[in-house]
Amino acid sequence: MSLPMVVPDPTLPRHVTIWEVGPRDGLQNESGIVDTATKIEFIGRLGEAGLSIVEATSFVRPDRVPQLADAAEVMGGITRRPDLRHPALVPNLRGLASAIDCQVRDIAIFASATETFAQRNLGRGYDDQWQMFDPVVSSAREHGMGVRGYLSMCFGDPWEGPVPADQVAAAAKRLYDMGCETISLGDTIGVATPGQASDLIARLTDAGVPLAALGVHFHDTYGQALANTLAALRSGVTSVDASAGGLGGCPYAKAATGNLATEDLVYMLDGLGIEHGVDLDALVETSLWLEARLGRPSSSRVLRARGDHMRKES
């Protein structure tokens, strides 16, 4: 089925990099433990579908995120390819040491734009978090690793309310100056709107964070994830986080629902004639496969529509 119709928009980027977060950000929020073999196959299937960046796991304390306690086994079981990146989230130097032992080439750290979420997620305040991250970033760079900085609560915080754009810009600039090559702006509880997304990106570039270093990470709590993504693309952003099947949320922010579904993102990019390298049918097959193993339906609109069509053809 040749959908969607392609109508290019010359004002948008010609290519977008999709940062797939399903195996890490998605599975860490499952109520049950997904077995290691399933995780490894999931990661492999995503790579075969054409995703060039598949965030594999997180080296965190097992008692904090038991769903990812098998990080070393997952990294040891996946197939490494020079054209495929498998970043891992690390919270501190201990996590970084584990990642280095597993020959991880790219890491990410997870900072907060607000005081309350820093306390709840990191166990330390907004100002103190930088002291924890600075040696992690420095050591990772010394080992030749790529470093990404996630910045959460960029648009709204369930405890503090709307987050001032200048406050987010200051935090993003600290991550960039620290040595993070890319910074992902997180709408952790999914309250952003397109105008807010465009305004924040402009504030960040005015603060000295290059547009090429920015990525966006939208949750779909209010159904705004695709609209916000399109606004970010119009602002010149070319890196978008998404999760196969819309998996995800945040274990320390209960208001956070699923991430932008990778299938929905790919469908929109296809319709706009934007290159991304992903085979939509292969991606849908992968998410349907995982859906069956999780025992519940996906939140992806495209997965529902395309999956039903694929079932009728089979």
Burial, 7: exposed, middle or buried (Cβ in 10 Å; 0-12, 13-18, 19+)?
exposed
Residue 208, CA distances (Å) to 82, 173, 202, 214, 229 in order: 32, 7, 10, 11, 22
Nearest partner of 68 among 45, 97, 95, judged by Cα: 95
Chain length of the chain: 314
Long-range pairs for 10-14 at CB < 8 Å and ≥24 separation? 11/234, 12/233, 12/234, 12/272, 12/274, 13/233, 13/236, 13/237, 13/238, 13/274, 14/274, 14/275
Which DSSP letter does residue 26 get? I
The number of angstroms, rounded, from the C-alpha of 154 to the middle of its chain's C-alpha atoms is 14
The first and second tokens of residue 76, run together, are 């040891």
The DSSP annotation for 136-147 comes to HHHHHHHTT-EE
Catalytic residues: 250
The first and second tokens of residue 25, run together, are 């950000």
Return the number of other C-beta atoms located less than 10 Å from residue 8's C-beta. 11
Compute the distance between CA of residue 265 and CA of residue 55 in angstroms, rounded to an integer. Answer: 17
